């Protein structure tokens, strides 16, 4: 007969001042960060007559979704009053190839640095990381001149190339750290079996890269979708992303400032990266932890 073993040691207390302090700090932090979102959301469902009363924290007395429809399809973003739907599709056209290319190139770069002894690879990697910490504004004018001389300035390929360039250092660092934490025996065994560069990457390394790919996707989607200065500078008027359209709506000086429309447009602009993070948030934490094992 199996004998039950009583747990030893003191039972955990259900209440402690330390635990209360932790919950209090977390509650204050959550309140601090969620108040702007609450104000933005509530204002987007109010009429302008109600907004003028000034109670920005109150629940809408007359719930309306008209500001959302106007922000999407008829708000003025300059001379044209077509809403931010054009900017949304421009952002999608910029985002998808930029994310795919930057993650693919970063994965290949990290794979090479982690597993192959390429002469000068460490020096090149260090230079790449140094470039990641230089402000974007330093590169704007030289890049404008380069793309103008190539005839690409103000085009969709131009802004895609720019996002890939600025995303490559971080992507390379993430994948390099993640691959450095993998057992080197897997790579050596594949080499002994006669597998080449592409075969090892495709059939050995890539299947284990799901967590870090999700992390890279979240970071790139957030950074590229929320970008303003690069899109304004390099995309061209016909390819302006959603953030530039949002700025034009909010900065409009003609007529009455429609705060409910502005807030609705703001939430629509932030919806994509927010949804991406909510769907894959647990993978994000897991992938960050996995990629931080080795530096």
Alpha carbon distance 136, 21 (integer Å): 41
Return the C-alpha torsion angle 23, 24, 25, 28, nearest 10. Answer: 120
Alpha carbon distance 45, 72 (integer Å): 14
Model confidence at 1, in pLDDT bands (50, 70, 90)?
A: very low
| Domain ranges within the chain, ordered by starting residue | 19-64, 85-253+270-291
The arithmetic mean of pLDDT across residues 138-158, rounded, is 91
Tens digit of each residue's pLDDT (9 = 90 or more) over 230-289: 999 999 888 999 998 888 887 765 667 788 888 999 999 988 888 887 887 676 666 666
Alpha carbon distance 119, 177 (integer Å): 19
Alpha carbon distance 131, 269 (integer Å): 29
Please answer whether residues 243 and 162 qualify as being in contact, where contact means their C-beta atoms are separated by less than 8 angstroms.
no
Model confidence at 13, in pLDDT bands (50, 70, 90)?
A: low
Alpha carbon distance 42, 34 (integer Å): 12
Q: What letters, b where the CB count within 10 A reaches 16 and e where it falls short, cover 80-92?
A: eeebbbbbbebbe
Give the CATH architecture of domain 85-253+270-291: Orthogonal Bundle (1.10)
Tens digit of each residue's pLDDT (9 = 90 or more) over 98-120: 999 999 999 998 898 888 877 77
pTM to 2 decimal places: 0.82
Alpha carbon distance 178, 172 (integer Å): 10
Alpha carbon distance 60, 68 (integer Å): 14
Nearest to 62 by CA among 263, 260, 292: 260
Alpha carbon distance 32, 261 (integer Å): 24
Instruction: Report residue 145 as tokens.
Output: 């001149």
Please answer whether residues 75 and 265 qualify as being in contact, where contact means their C-beta atoms are separated by less than 8 angstroms.
yes
The arithmetic mean of pLDDT across residues 31-50, rounded, is 89
Owner of token pair 């080197």: 184
């Amino acid at each position: 007969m199996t004998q039950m073993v009583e747990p030893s040691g003191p039972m955990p207390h259900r209440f402690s001042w330390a635990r209360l302090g932790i919950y209090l700090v977390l509650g204050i932090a959550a309140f601090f960060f969620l108040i702007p979102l609450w104000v933005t959301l509530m204002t987007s469902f109010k009429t302008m007559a109600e907004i003028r009363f000034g109670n920005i924290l109150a629940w809408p007395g007359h719930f309306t979704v008209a500001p959302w429809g106007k922000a999407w399809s008829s708000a003025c973003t300059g001379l044209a009053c077509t809403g931010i739907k054009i900017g949304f599709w421009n952002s999608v056209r910029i985002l998808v190839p930029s994310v795919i290319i930057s993650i693919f190139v970063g994965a290949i770069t990290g794979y090479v640095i982690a597993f192959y002894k390429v002469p000068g690879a460490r020096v090149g990697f260090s230079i790449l990381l140094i470039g990641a910490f230089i402000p974007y504004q330093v590169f704007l004018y030289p890049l404008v001149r380069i793309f103008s001389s190539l005839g690409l300035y103000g085009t969709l390929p131009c802004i895609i190339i720019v996002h890939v360039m600025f995303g490559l250092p971080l992507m390379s660092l993430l994948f390099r750290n993640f691959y450095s934490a993998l057992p080197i025996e897997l790579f050596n065994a594949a080499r002994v079996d006669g597998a080449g560069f592409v075969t090892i990457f495709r059939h050995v390394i890539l299947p284990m890269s799901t967590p870090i790919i999700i992390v890279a996707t979240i970071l790139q989607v957030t950074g590229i979708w929320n970008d303003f200065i690069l899109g304004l500078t390099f995309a061209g008027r016909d390819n302006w992303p959603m953030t530039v359209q949002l700025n034009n709506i909010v900065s409009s000086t003609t007529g009455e400032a429609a705060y409910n429309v502005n807030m609705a447009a703001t939430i629509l602009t932030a919806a994509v990266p927010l949804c991406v993070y909510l769907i894959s948030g647990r993978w994000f934490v897991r992938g960050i932890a996995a990629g931080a094992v080795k530096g």
